[in-house]
Amino acid sequence: MSTPPLITDSHCHLDFPDFEGELPDILARATDAGVHRMVTICTRLRNEPTLRALADAHPQVFYAAGTHPMSAAEEPLATLDELIALTSHPKMVGIGETGLDYHYTAESMGIQKQSLKVHIEAAQRTGLPLIVHARAADEDMADILTAEYRNAAYSCVMHCYCSGPELAMSCLDLGFYLSMSGIATFPKSQEVRDIFAAAPIERILVETDSPYLAPVPRRGKRNEPAYTAFTAKVGAEVFGMEAAAFAAQTEENFERLFTKVAAFKDAA
């Protein structure tokens, strides 16, 4: 049997209760599928110690920390000093996820914007990539990301991208990255696939957002990092590439954006 190409799940949530008691098996299945690294994402800063412990315990796991926009009204506002202090850990590799979600939590848009700007400044100060969740907020998202970039440059990935083509173009114009999730494999997601197809291949990442959004052929099941391989297969088709070439390109892209992961690998 041929060895699957190596890929990275750039966004998952290994601390969620959906995975409780199963992590060794989940990581083993990921390895078997060629998913040799993953970034587990903090959505509430009070949970950061749990994610840090996961990264410390497993060589293939890295983590990012921030306050999810849907949690912004329920959690203390993250401070710049707090976020910067967390980046001292060698496996804390990104700021977020943060962003704007007007689909589920439009009533808290004010605090979401405030939280997003704190996270952006942390990315500007540390040089770590910003990890952004965007839903039903394309215009405000483009305006804030662009205005803050003009103040000071920063790097960013629009995770699980499924917003419109205008926001995608605004982000690509700033040099940001788009991450492809299982949504891109759904039959009715042709518009999403078209947005990715129009983007430079050098700006594409792959992810699961597990335990959510399992790709075809696991749609409707609990998602897990191993299933990044299914999304990568569709990504290769979208770009008209061989699976191995697409995997290699997304690996290069990931290490260009997540520089601390690349440095950690080199130091190992």
- d(CA 62, CA 55) in angstroms, rounded, equals 5
Q: How far apart are CA 224 and CA 24, in angstroms?
A: 12
Helices (H), the chain: 23-32, 48-57, 80-86, 109-126, 138-151, 165-173, 190-197, 228-238, 243-257, 259-267
> What is the structure's pLDDT at 157?
98
Q: What is the pLDDT of residue 240?
A: 98
Which domains, ranges and CATH numbers included, belong to the chain? 7-267 (3.20.20.140)
pLDDT in the model for residue 229 = 98
Compute the radius of gyration of the chain from its Cα atoms: 17
Q: What is the pLDDT of residue 233?
A: 98
Q: Residue 162 and residue 183: Cα distance in Å, rounded? A: 8
User: Is the pLDDT score of 14 beyond 90?
Assistant: yes
Confidence of residue 261 (pLDDT cuts 50, 70, 90): very high
Cα–Cα distance between 222 and 19 in angstroms, integer? 9
Query: pLDDT exceeding 70 applies to what percent of the chain?
Result: 99
Q: Is the pTM of this model over 0.75?
A: yes
Q: What is residue 151's predicted lDDT score, i.e. its pLDDT?
A: 96
Cis peptide before 211 (omega within 30 of 0): yes
pLDDT above 80 (res 21): yes
Average pLDDT rounded to a whole number, residues 216-225: 96
Q: Give per-residue pLDDT as tens, 99-158.
A: 999 999 999 999 999 999 999 999 999 999 999 999 999 999 999 999 999 999 999 999
For residues 185-205, average pLDDT:
98
pLDDT of 265 higher than 90: no
**What pLDDT, on the 0 to 100 scale, is given for residue 1?**
62
| pLDDT surpasses 70 at 221 | yes
Residue 2 confidence (pLDDT): 80
Q: Can you give the pLDDT at residue 268?
A: 62
Segment 74-84 mean pLDDT: 97
